[in-house]
Structure 1
Amino acid sequence: MIKFEKVDKVYKNGYKALTDINLEIKEGEFVAIIGRSGAGKSTLIRTINKMIDINSGSLLVEGVDVSKLTGKKLRKFRRNIGMIFQQFNLVNRMSVINNVLAGFVPDLNIFQSTLGLYPKKYKLKALEALQEVDILEQAYSRADQLSGGQKQRVALARTIAQDPKIILADEPTASLDPVTSRQVMEYLKKINKENNIAILLNIHEIDLGLEYAERCIGIKDGIVVYDGPSSEVNSEVLELIYGDAYNKGE
């Protein structure tokens, strides 16, 4: 489904974020990507929807060469990939349902998008998505009236309403307390299992990532140093990924 072959990424300042990445992600996998800050985790997942361009190598998503996509083809391609961010990316002054419906704007004509006229089928999909993450009762509340955990569930609803085949989650629990973080992870797991959506999760909370994801990819200085079952990640593996930072509890 997703295939990296010898992928490198070097930023303009000369920083090499990814080196010789060779990975294959299958349909329906739930993968946690762990590593120190600056290891290349966010860069890795953001190459998949071409938010970040690779410099060399090959990156295929469902057989499509991502590096060659531009314009309308790139926008169409991104419709199959959901993205969840740490800061939710909601419009606070808008209602919950309108935040979910905003994901359909690229499918509207100019008249519809200007006036916010969404076809009934989109409204039904938005309501179904809100129900799936148990926040339907807040559909007509303003987003700024919600807690952080509720906002992230709305972001999840916006994503699943698009029927994505892949979800990229970039630190989705970083702004949340431990209890709410676990709730969000439960919803991600539910979406993964019930809809067979591949999820790539960049996460700092090691224990949380390993508990919910079946597979773990460990990155150190832009290099994959571990790729295997989460259940087999032990202190030796974590020391390999985090080095001295793991021993110091950082």
Structure 2
Amino acid sequence: MIKFEHVSKTYPNGVKGLQDINLEIEDGEFVGIIGMSGAGKSTFIRTINRLNNITEGKLTVDGVEISNLKGKALRRFRRKIGMIFQSYNLVPRITVIRNVMSSLVPDMSLWRVILGLFSKDDKIRALKALDRVSMLDKAFVRTDQLSGGQQQRVSLARTLAQNPSVLLADEPVAALDPVTAHEVMDDFKRINDELGQTVLINIHHVDLALDYAKRIIGIRAGRVVYDGPVSGVTQEILDNIYSKNEAE
């Protein structure tokens, strides 16, 4: 479970990224986070794995207050939280399988990292992750030969290989065409359904959020202005989420 208790985030320049967030996300949920650009969606996502530190309140994941984590404890915690970005963050001139196996480096000994030695189990783990996103046939292709959608699937496979309990995705389909965006969202849904992994997606496309997520969190001016099932999202609620006026 992920639990926000009066969580706020104020940046050094005084901008309030989040304001008094109170909510719980149960294990296995598929949550779509929607709102205008600058509303605080990315800030919300990135507080969960401590890419952004909160400035007020309490944020716990599986009962652990993450603000207290430091050093090795923080690194171990982050291994349980997978993160997928819009920009893929892949190494273009190496093969797909080596990109996926790069997620295993933190668990390897220093000499294996230096020599680039991956075990048979590492390779099997990477191949299984690629199979999950229908990219097994591209395992030994150089990554820079793939389309944008294929690269995002490799990015997802790389995250799956580290066996996280939570998947965070920050605008994962923003750069993709509509058909490819649906294909990538299909992967997220299948992973959520089959593996039971918690999925939180910050997504610009409202239609995709409503098609794939089971729960919607609407953020405006750093505040949650809607939190509920997809079936409860009306045009009036969307108008409120995307209003240019600050939340009360």
TM-score category (smaller protein): over 0.9
- Deviation at residue 225 of structure 1 after TM alignment: 0.3
Aligned residue identity for 2:238: L
Q: How does 1:17-56 map to 2 (within 5 A)?
A: 17-56=17-56
Matching of residues 59-138 of structure 1 within 5 Å:
59-138=59-138
Cα offsets for 1:193-230 (capped at 9, x unmatched) = 10000000000000111110000000000000000001
C-alpha offsets along residues 71-94 of structure 1, whole Å, 9 cap, x if unaligned? 110110011110000011100011
| CA drift at 1:243 | 1.2
Cα deviation, 1:26-45, whole Å, max 9, x if unaligned, reads 01000000000000000001
Written as runs of structure 1 = structure 2, the 5 A alignment for 1:139-150 is: 139-150=139-150
In structure 1, the residue matched to 2:152 is: 152
Q: What displacement does 1:122 show?
A: 1.1
2:231 aligned with 1:206: no
Q: 2 CA distance for matches of 1:24 and 1:178? A: 31
* Count of residue correspondences: 245
3-state SS in 2 of match to 1:93: coil
After the TM superposition, which segments of 4 or more aligned residues of structure 1 sit over 4 Å from their partners? Answer: none
The match for 1:248 is none
Give SS of 2:163's match. coil
Report the AA paired with residue 147 of structure 1: S
CA shift digits 1:23-65 (9 cap, x unpaired): 1000100000000000000000100000000001000000111
RMSD: 0.9
- In structure 1, the residue matched to 2:167 is 167
Identity level (%): 58
2:90 is aligned with what amino acid? L
- TM-score by structure 1 length? 0.97
C-alpha deviation, 1:244, in angstroms: 5.3
Q: TM-score, normalised by structure 2?
A: 0.97
Whole-angstrom CA distance in 2 between matches of 1:114 and 1:244: 51
How far apart are the structure 2 equivalents of 1:59 and 1:99? 32
Structure 1: gaps of 5 or more residues: 246-250
Q: For 1:141-164, what per-residue CA distance to the aligned partner results, in whole angstroms no more than 9, with x for missing partners?
A: 110000001001101111111111
